[in-house]
Copies of this chain bind each other. A is one copy, B any other.
Amino acid sequence: MNDHERESGFTRGDLAIATGCNIETIRYYEKAGLLPDPPRTGAGYRIYSAAHARRLRFILRARELGFPMEDIRGLLGLGDGTSPTCAEVKERTERHLADIRAKIADLQRMEAVLATTASHCSGAEVPECPVLDALSGSSEP
């Protein structure tokens, strides 16, 4: 790679460091269509711009908030090629919010069961255990 080829561009490693993203994940997002195919040097090395970095940071933030990739595609306007309206984004966000709340409720139900069951444990070095009994369904005949 010479100076002309790489002027003002990131390599994949640079981009990974700049964004904190795993280097392989970048390639994965490209294949998944979230990140546009970057130009290449003569030797085939990817050259990323600041725009790519912005896009990747957007994706990473959305993923941190738990948006599935399909949703991110929508937020990026990759479905129909037009960027989504505020209404569309809001709808997607609220559906996602509902999913998250459902997951929280699920986990809280699990938590409640496990916390009560575990609290009955003697913690002794014996094979009898109230947790196993609960799982074995002795409570439901």
Q: A residues touching B (Cβ–Cβ < 8 Å)?
A: 54, 57-58, 61-62, 64-66, 75, 83-87, 89-90, 93-94, 96-97, 100-101, 103-104, 107-108, 110-111, 113-115, 117-118, 121-132, 134-137
Contact = CB atoms under 8 A, between A and B. Distances in A.
A71 to B, nearest CB: 11
Given A86-B128, A129-B86, A135-B58, A94 B118 contact: yes
A44 to B, nearest CB: 30
A136 B76 CA distance: 11
B85 A121 contact: no
A30 B49 CA distance: 50
A81 to B, nearest CB: 13
